[in-house]
Amino acid sequence: MKKRVFSGIQPTGDIHIGNYLGAIKYWVAMQENYDNIFCIVDLHAVTVPQDPKILHRKIREVSGLLLAAGIDPKRSILFIQSHVCAHSELAWLLNCFIPMGWMQRMTQFKEKSGTQKEQVSVGLFDYPALMAADILIYDTQVVPVGEDQKQHVELARDTAQRFNSIYGETFTLPEPLIPNVGARIMGLDDPTKKMSKSETGTNHAINLLDTPEIIRAKFARATTDSLREIRFDEKRPGIYNLLTIYQTFSGRSKEEIEAQFEGKGYGDFKKALAEVVIEGLRPLQERYKELTADPTRIDAILAEGAERARPLAAKTLERVQKKIGLG
């Protein structure tokens, strides 16, 4: 029996190389040895205001990018979260079960709500309960995510454990899987902040659909420091981040990379970095173009994914309802 993998991505903003290196790349690789379910989490996206037309378009764009990156609908289930209503039902039940104090400890809410705590939606605060439902409803064992999501996966695990100890064995305990390299790609304009879809600065992120010209220009402007040496030194976050991107796209070791750029300047390194990223993204961009030439194709794949996910989710929901004494 292969282990069950589940992960999700929000259909908001532009998908960037942080999403790719921290998550999508591993999802593609895991198709070999795991039983995979990947989800476009539109219900998570609406925790903050969204333009309806843009949201609808972004759902197809993200799906197309996942398929272009190598998610194979024959081997993996790919679907839209809102197409399987059991996620919302289980989220409600977990809402009534997760202690308020657990939710209040979530650091991402604190960061995202900023100084606007009274204005943001209850959904944004409560989002880890929906994420726990996404994970637990498929008896997930492994959740491949970037570093920023580790705390949420741990909350899902704690919830499963607490539920099982009260109602008896019900949920499988999930574990986060965080990559060794690439788990936290930082913004090009500010290497102390995680690269994020919600940041609007034009020089913040390299997006998967950026043209070669844009990629070259963004790397040329990326923030570094006034030193010269090209070394993996965590105390120099700008150059460290760029070197990490180079490492993941080139597949070379740290030592090889440091030797390659010995005595060279930041300008030369940034040019080489742009080329390795352009070449790395080229096949994905070409497949994306082919896929989106027929707009019905992606919708058909997503509809089939939901058909396959629904019975799996319904079974878990029924099990939980019985345990609680509903109906």
Known catalytic residue at 197:
yes
Shortest spacing between CB 128 and ligand LTN, in angstroms: 8
- Contacting residue, 4, 44, 197, 218, with ligand LTN by CB under 6 A: 44
The reply on whether position 91 binds ligand LTN by CB under 6 A is no
Give dist(CA 79, CA 156) in Å, integer. Answer: 21
45 vs 11: CA distance, rounded Å: 7
193 given a catalytic annotation: no
Pick 23 or 91: Cβ nearer ligand ATP: 23
Strand partners, 194: 186
Inter-CA distances, 222 with 27, 153, 182, 235, 268, Å: 28, 32, 18, 17, 13
Question: How much helix, strand and coil, in percent to the nearest 5, is found in the chain?
Answer: 55, 10, 35
Q: Cβ neighbours of residue 77 under 8 Å, at least 6 residues apart?
A: 36, 37, 38, 305, 308, 309
Burial of 101 (0-12, 13-18, 19+ CB in 10 A): exposed
Residue 224 CB, shortest distance to ligand LTN, in Å, is 28
Clarify whether 194 is annotated catalytic.
yes
41 binds ligand LTN (CB under 6 A): yes
Q: Could you please report the per-residue DSSP string of 88-115?
A: HHHHHHHHTTS-HHHHHT-HHHHHHHTT
3, 194, 254, 323: the active-site residue? 194
Task: Check binding of 135 to ligand LTN (CB under 6 A).
Answer: yes
Binding segment (CB under 6 A) for ligand LTN, from list 145-153, 165-173, 184-192, 220-228: 145-153
Establish if 6 lies at the interface with ligand LTN (CB under 6 A): yes
The answer to whether 14 and 65 are in contact (CB under 8 A) is: no
131 binds, among ligand ATP, ligand LTN, none (CB under 5 to 8 A by kind): ligand LTN
Residue 7 interacting with ligand LTN (CB under 6 A): yes
Task: Compute the least distance from the CB of residue 79 to ligand LTN, in Å.
Answer: 12
**Residues near ligand ATP, by CB under 6 A:** 9-10, 13, 18-19, 21-23, 145-146, 148-149, 183-185, 194-198
Cα–Cα distance between 68 and 62 in angstroms, integer?
Answer: 10
Partner whose footprint covers residue 195, from ligand LTN, ligand ATP, none (CB < 5 to 8 Å by kind) = ligand ATP
CB of 138 to ligand ATP, least distance (A): 16
Q: Could you tell me the smallest distance in angstroms from the CB atom of residue 143 to ligand ATP? A: 9
How far apart are the C-alpha atoms of 139 and 4, rounded to whole Å? 7
How is residue 164 written in tokens? 């099982």
Does 145 participate in binding ligand LTN (rule CB under 6 A)? yes
Q: Side by side, which strands form the sheet with 34-40?
A: 77-80, 34-40, 3-9, 142-144, 175-177
136 binds, options ligand ATP, ligand LTN, none, Cβ within 5 to 8 A by partner type:
none
| Active centre residues (catalytic) | 112, 194, 197
Task: List contacts with ligand LTN (CB under 6 A).
Answer: 6-8, 10, 41, 44, 131, 134-135, 143, 145, 149, 152
